[in-house]
């Protein structure tokens, strides 16, 4: 079968006009071509992009602007697996030359608005007459960007009416306007602001940069007493690829607050609401403080919505009236959730809240939570049951501080111990912004240990021969923690960073039976690689310093010291950690030995030995999901970590059970967003396991009892892999 290639010039003129079955027609044009063989049944087989000089605009944003649609990524893979439930075959959209021409125009406008005035958009279309499908390639040459050469800002009076104030375009501002001086107390700030604007020289001048200059100038005045301030770019003189920008600002009259109105409150008193607003009668108007008042009102649990601003239709003079509208919810609320993780099985929690307990905006919350271990995929699954009551006071000393107090009780049966913990917890928090906060907590509790799992080499029986050990502990722990960052979204971040340091210390000595100092820090950085890919970097570091009775080398009882510290010792491995290992099992570990009635030794799991120091790091690349659009995604990761204890006090005596060096893991997975929360499936692969990582715990236990070297046991390569699966958020 022979095919004839039909070539069209850039003006759409035919150079050949013969057709045969199976022909391929190719067209490349920047004008208005004609593909005369295209009909209503022609479909788009493939949509591609070409950027000879690169592109400052991401592929995702470009695809959102065009109407032509290809079958999407991995079309061949969807065709192969379309017989599976939930996987549909690729859809081939109709092809229309008119729609393609409109897309070309839209893309040109998009690049010009982004600061590329000489952008050229072309296309290449190839028609396969056998299948009546076309392959479309959009070719974008963005050209040289338009950059800022200079910025001049003029402050104009308000003698012209508001409708004559500058709104953009070219001109010299509103009629009747002339440049004016600002109050002396603002002169230095204004000069510094103009100098900061000048730092934009050399940046690309598009609609986004234009809007930024206007918004920053307007906001400067709004935050310094000018509630009717306006600004615009009134001139942009272009020479070649350089532009000189003139900004006109019309601040209007400077005004002080004469009145603050509150509307919509039914249960919260005016005094409670007013105290949350950081602006008072007689203060200069400040838009940023009005916005902060909205956020502070929203922090009251009874408030569902808070909107603030100036009262509409008031005259522009030296005073201004403010208005805050609030929308209150029901005072009592019951809610809960259920989730599942491969490490802990089914988890659940339930809460009952009174969101205006005894008035004053304070709240009372009674909570219960449980980790059942049901359907867990790991043998080290925790089983916990907790109950707590917490009273929160939103305004304590000042509006940016709050406090809480309440009792709690928790039963636990996991790899650490089987125990009952009860006590009271109190906290004092300071919050400057959403991700700038400091919290001081104190917990006074009593721990009763009913059983503790393997803490020593398997040749010893835990607690045997240690007459000084008693199974109860009194703990008095102070914890200071903080958060600082710029994440755009705490739950599903796209950019920014977050640092969370913490310090814990026990005391006084006469009260607390457990004594230690623990310092740690967690960090996250989110870097948007493109519109479709995001890089997540996470890291942790920590160090535990036992002292007094909790120092195994100096305390009365080594066993008691280790049992008391198990809650604060470091481990690594699990769903959000070094993912080639199960929860807590990346470092040194010991088989959890049980002796049957017939004297046989069995062990169906490992128990983490824990450590006094920890370092971990993660690099995860989030990518589009092959079959589904956002917010579903896939991911690839590289994890590393180290958990160790300086000295030999906390590590297993048998060197074959120790792991103090760095561990590395790679892997990937998928994340689905559902109505019940994210479903996350991942697999990790151990790059450098030690022999005990690849051995069955029962085999290891019997070998240690029989004094057989672990190097003689047969390793299992399947243990290099570890599967992680979760449904919903972990509790």
Q: What are residue 581's phi and psi, to 5 degrees?
A: -120, 160
Q: Is 60 exceeded by the pLDDT of residue 111?
A: yes
Asked if 28 and 10 touch (Cβ cutoff 8 Å), the reply is yes
Q: Is residue 595 located within the same domain as residue 731?
A: yes
Asked if 453 and 701 touch (Cβ cutoff 8 Å), the reply is no
Q: Is 60 exceeded by the pLDDT of residue 206?
A: yes
CA 114 to chain centre: 28
Q: Which helix (H) or strand (E) holds 517?
A: strand 516-528
Between 59 and 10, residue with greater pLDDT: 59
Cα gap 309→322, rounded to integer Å: 6
Q: Is residue 709 located within the same domain as residue 581?
A: yes
Q: Is 80 exceeded by the pLDDT of residue 80?
A: no
Q: Is 90 exceeded by the pLDDT of residue 168?
A: no
Half-sphere exposure of 262 (CA within 13 A, CB side): 21
Mean pLDDT of 224-249: 92
* pLDDT tens-digit readout, 687-721: 999 999 999 999 998 888 888 888 899 999 999 99
Asked if 252 and 158 touch (Cβ cutoff 8 Å), the reply is yes
DSSP 398: B
Structure tokens at 181: 């001086």
* CATH at 665: 2.40.160.50
Q: What are residue 79's phi and psi, to 5 degrees?
A: -65, -35
Place of tokens 């659009």: 629
Q: Is residue 718 located within the same domain as residue 574?
A: yes
Cα gap 229→248, rounded to integer Å: 11
Residue 716's pLDDT is 92
Residue 59's pLDDT is 78
* CATH at 125: 3.10.20.310
- Evaluate whether residue 200 is within a structural domain: yes
Cα gap 503→512, rounded to integer Å: 17
Mean pLDDT of 485-491: 85
Residue 570's pLDDT is 94
CB neighbours (10 Å) of residue 290? 24
Q: Is 60 exceeded by the pLDDT of residue 267?
A: yes
Query: By mean pLDDT, which of 15-29, 317-331, 417-431 is the weakest?
Result: 15-29
- Evaluate whether residue 646 is within a structural domain: yes
Cα gap 578→572, rounded to integer Å: 6
Cα gap 47→71, rounded to integer Å: 8
* pLDDT tens-digit readout, 394-434: 999 888 999 999 999 999 988 788 899 999 999 999 998 87
What band does 578 get if pLDDT is binned at 50, 70 and 90?
very high
* pLDDT tens-digit readout, 112-142: 999 999 999 999 999 888 888 899 999 999 9
| Cα pseudo-dihedral 78, 82, 84, 87, rounded to 10 | 60
DSSP 164: G
Structure tokens at 275: 């105290």
Q: Is residue 40 located within the same domain as residue 155?
A: no
Residue 632: give the domain boundaries: 569-731
Q: Which residues contact 188 (CB under 8 A, 6 or more apart)?
A: none
What band does 490 get if pLDDT is binned at 50, 70 and 90?
confident
Q: Is residue 223 located within the same domain as residue 357?
A: no
Residue 352's pLDDT is 97
What band does 259 get if pLDDT is binned at 50, 70 and 90?
very high
Q: Which residues contact 597 (CB under 8 A, 6 or more apart)?
A: none
Q: Is residue 676 located within the same domain as residue 548?
A: no
Residue 664's pLDDT is 97
Q: Is residue 553 located within the same domain as residue 452?
A: yes
- Evaluate whether residue 563 is within a structural domain: no
Domain boundary among 201, 226, 250: 250
Mean pLDDT of 41-62: 87
Asked if 657 and 609 touch (Cβ cutoff 8 Å), the reply is yes
Q: Is 80 exceeded by the pLDDT of residue 164?
A: no
Q: Is 70 exceeded by the pLDDT of residue 32?
A: no
CA 241 to chain centre: 38
What band does 30 get if pLDDT is binned at 50, 70 and 90?
very low
Average pLDDT of the chain?
A: 85
- Evaluate whether residue 406 is within a structural domain: yes
Would you call the peptide bond into 650 cis, given omega within 30 degrees of 0 as the criterion? no
- Evaluate whether residue 564 is within a structural domain: no
Cα gap 345→716, rounded to integer Å: 25
Between 562 and 321, residue with greater pLDDT: 321
Cα gap 706→6, rounded to integer Å: 82
* pLDDT tens-digit readout, 604-641: 888 888 899 999 999 999 988 766 666 788 999 999 99
Mean pLDDT of 192-214: 91
Count up the domains in the chain and report the number: 6
Q: Is 60 exceeded by the pLDDT of residue 16?
A: no
CA angle 504, 507, 510 (to 5 degrees): 160
Mean pLDDT of 82-91: 63
Mean pLDDT of 30-35: 48
Between 650 and 14, residue with greater pLDDT: 650
Asked if 387 and 367 touch (Cβ cutoff 8 Å), the reply is yes
Mean pLDDT of 308-314: 92
Between 476 and 557, residue with greater pLDDT: 476
Residue 334's pLDDT is 96
Q: Is residue 323 located within the same domain as residue 393?
A: no
Residue 607's pLDDT is 87
Residue 628's pLDDT is 64
Cα gap 401→394, rounded to integer Å: 7
Residue 77's pLDDT is 62
Residue 728's pLDDT is 58
Cα gap 267→641, rounded to integer Å: 52
Cα gap 116→169, rounded to integer Å: 18
Q: Is residue 179 located within the same domain as residue 105?
A: no
Q: Is residue 162 located within the same domain as residue 268?
A: no
Mean pLDDT of 309-321: 92
Q: Is 80 exceeded by the pLDDT of residue 17?
A: no
Q: Is residue 539 located within the same domain as residue 424?
A: yes
Orientation angle between helical segments 207-222 and 287-299, nearest 10 degrees: 90
Domain boundary among 502, 526, 558: 558
CA angle 171, 205, 533 (to 5 degrees): 150
Cα gap 479→510, rounded to integer Å: 18
* Pairing assessment for the beta strands 417-433 and 516-528 based on DSSP bridges: unpaired
Residue 609's pLDDT is 86
* Pairing assessment for the beta strands 303-310 and 242-250 based on DSSP bridges: unpaired
Asked if 380 and 697 touch (Cβ cutoff 8 Å), the reply is no
In terms of phi and psi (left: phi > 0; alpha: psi -120 to 50; beta: otherwise), the region of 345 is left
Asked if 241 and 211 touch (Cβ cutoff 8 Å), the reply is no
- Evaluate whether residue 691 is within a structural domain: yes
Q: Is residue 210 located within the same domain as residue 264?
A: no
Q: Is 80 exceeded by the pLDDT of residue 337?
A: yes
Asked if 368 and 391 touch (Cβ cutoff 8 Å), the reply is no
Domain boundary among 230, 250, 270: 250
Q: Is 50 exceeded by the pLDDT of residue 162?
A: no
DSSP 179: B
- Evaluate whether residue 43 is within a structural domain: yes
Does this model's pTM top 0.75? My answer is: yes
Between 595 and 384, residue with greater pLDDT: 384
Strand partners, 326: 306
Q: Which helix (H) or strand (E) holds 541?
A: strand 534-546
């Amino acid at each position: 079968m022979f095919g004839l290639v039909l070539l069209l010039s850039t003006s759409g003129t035919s150079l050949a006009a013969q057709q045969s079955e199976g022909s391929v027609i190719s067209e490349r044009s920047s004008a208005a071509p004609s593909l005369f063989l295209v009909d209503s049944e022609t479909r788009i087989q493939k949509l591609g992009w070409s950027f000879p000089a690169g592109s400052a605009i991401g592929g995702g944003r470009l695809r959102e602007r065009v109407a032509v649609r290809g079958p999407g990524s991995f079309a061949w893979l969807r065709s192969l697996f379309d017989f599976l439930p939930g996987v549909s075959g690729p859809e081939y959209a109709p092809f229309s030359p008119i729609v393609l021409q409109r897309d070309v125009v839209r893309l040109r406008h998009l690049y010009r608005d982004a600061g590329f005035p000489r952008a050229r958009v072309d296309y290449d279309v190839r028609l396969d007459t056998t299948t009546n499908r076309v392959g479309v390639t959009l070719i974008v040459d963005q050209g040289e960007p338009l950059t800022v050469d200079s910025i001049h800002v003029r402050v104009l009076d308000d003698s012209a009416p508001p409708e004559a104030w500058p709104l953009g375009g070219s001109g010299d501002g509103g009629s009747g306007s002339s440049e004016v001086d600002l109050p002396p107390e603002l002169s230095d700030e204004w000069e510094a602001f103009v100098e900061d604007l000048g730092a934009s020289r050399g940046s690309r001048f598009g609609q986004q940069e234009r809007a930024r200059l206007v918004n920053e100038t307007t906001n400067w005045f709004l935050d310094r007493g000018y509630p009717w301030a306006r600004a615009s770019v009134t001139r942009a003189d272009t020479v070649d690829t350089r532009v000189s920008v003139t900004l006109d600002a019309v601040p209007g009259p400077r005004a002080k607050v004469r009145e603050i109105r509150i509307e919509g409150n039914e249960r919260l008193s005016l005094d409670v609401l007013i105290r949350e607003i950081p602006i008072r009668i007689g203060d200069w108007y400040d838009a940023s403080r009005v916005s902060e008042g909205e956020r502070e009102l929203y922090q009251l649990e009874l408030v569902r919505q808070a909107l603030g601003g100036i009262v509409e239709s008031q005259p522009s003079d030296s005073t201004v009236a403010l208005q805050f509208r609030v929308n209150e919810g029901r005072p009592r609320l019951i809610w809960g959730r259920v989730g599942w993780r491969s490490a802990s099985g089914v988890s659940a929690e339930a809460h009952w809240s009174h969101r205006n307990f005894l008035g004053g905006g304070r709240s009372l919350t009674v909570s219960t939570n449980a980790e059942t271990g049901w359907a867990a995929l790991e043998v080290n699954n925790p089983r916990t049951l907790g109950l707590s009551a917490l009273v929160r006071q939103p305004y304590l000393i000042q509006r940016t501080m709050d406090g809480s107090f309440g009792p709690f009780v928790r039963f636990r049966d996991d790899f650490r111990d089987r125990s009952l913990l009860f006590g009271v917890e109190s906290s004092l928090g300071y919050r400057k912004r959403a991700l700038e906060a400091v919290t001081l907590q104190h917990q006074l509790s009593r721990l009763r240990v009913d059983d503790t799992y393997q803490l020593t080499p398997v040749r010893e029986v835990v607690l045997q021969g240690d007459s000084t050990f008693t199974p109860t502990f009194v703990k008095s722990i102070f914890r200071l923690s903080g958060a600082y960052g710029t994440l755009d979204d705490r739950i599903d971040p796209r950019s920014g960073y977050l640092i969370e340091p913490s310090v814990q210390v026990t005391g006084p000595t006469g009260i607390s039976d457990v004594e230690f100092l623990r310092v740690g820090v967690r960090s996250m950085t989110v870097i948007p690689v493109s519109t479709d890919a995001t890089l997540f970097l996470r890291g942790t570091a920590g160090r535990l310093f036992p002292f007094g009775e909790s120092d195994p080398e100096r305390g009365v009882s080594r066993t008691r010291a280790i049992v008391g510290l198990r809650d604060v010792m470091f481990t690594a491995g699990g769903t959000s950690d070094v993912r080639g290992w199960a929860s807590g099992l990346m470092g040194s570990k010991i088989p959890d030995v049980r002796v049957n009635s017939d004297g046989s030794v069995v062990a169906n799991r490992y128990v983490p030995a824990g450590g006094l120091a920890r370092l971990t790091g993660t690099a995860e690349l989030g990518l589009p999901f092959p079959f589904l659009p956002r917010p579903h995604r896939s991911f690839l990761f590289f994890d590393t970590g180290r958990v160790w204890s300086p000295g030999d006090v906390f590590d297993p005596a048998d060197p074959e059970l120790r792991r103090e060096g760095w561990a590395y893991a790679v892997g990937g997975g998928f994340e689905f967003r559902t109505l019940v929360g994210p479903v996350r499936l991942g697999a990790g692969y151990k790059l450098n396991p030690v022999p005990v990582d690849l051995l069955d715990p029962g085999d290891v236990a019997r070998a240690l009892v029989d004094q057989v070297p672990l190097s003689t046991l047969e390793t299992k390569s399947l243990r290099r892999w570890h599967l992680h699966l979760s449904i919903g958020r972990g509790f």
